[in-house]
Structure 1
C-alpha cells in the first residue's frame, strides 16, 4: 500500500497521537492481515499456510506480510495450467480499509 502525504501525516500524528499508538495500530493490522492470509490460503500439506510470515520494519512503522513458500506466487496468481487461488491479495484488500479507519481514529 502506498501512502501519499506521509510527512503531513507524521506531523499531525505527532501533534495528536502518541507514536506508540501508531506502532500498535500497524502491528495489530499486520498480524490480522497475516491471520487472514493464512485463512484464505489453500491447504494441501499446510506448508503454504505455515510460510505466511509477518515482519515488522522501520522501527515498528511498517508491517510486511509475505507468503514465503517457494510456490506461493503460483498459488496466488496461477499458471497457464491452473487458475490462481489468491490468499495474500484478498487479505490485503480486506485489511486496507480497517487500517485506514484505525489511523483516522488516531487522528481525531
Structure 2
C-alpha cells in the first residue's frame, strides 16, 4: 500500500521568504474552516493583496507556512509559498536591471 506519489518535502530547503519581507498574494484564499471568526468559504485574501511576512512555521514536518499580515485587511493568514510572491526581491532585481542598463549606455 503506497502513497501514490511522494510530495516534495519543502522544509529540506531554506524558506523562500523571511520575516519582514513584503509579499503579494498570487491566488485568492478562502477559509477552509481553519480561520476562526470567518465563515467557511469566505475570502480571507484576494489575489494582488500586499502584506508582510511576520513569522514562519511548518505543517506536517513537510511545508513552510508563512504568517502574513495583510495590513489593509487587518488580518494575519497562514500562507503557502506557492500562494505568495516577493515584492522586495522583485524591486531589488528591478533596481539591479536598471543599474545594469545605465552602465551599458
Q: TM-score, normalised by structure 2?
A: 0.30
Greater RCO (Cα-Cα under 8 Å, separation 6 or more): 1
Q: Is the radius of gyration larger for structure 1 or structure 2?
A: 2
The structure with more helix, counted as a fraction of residues: 1
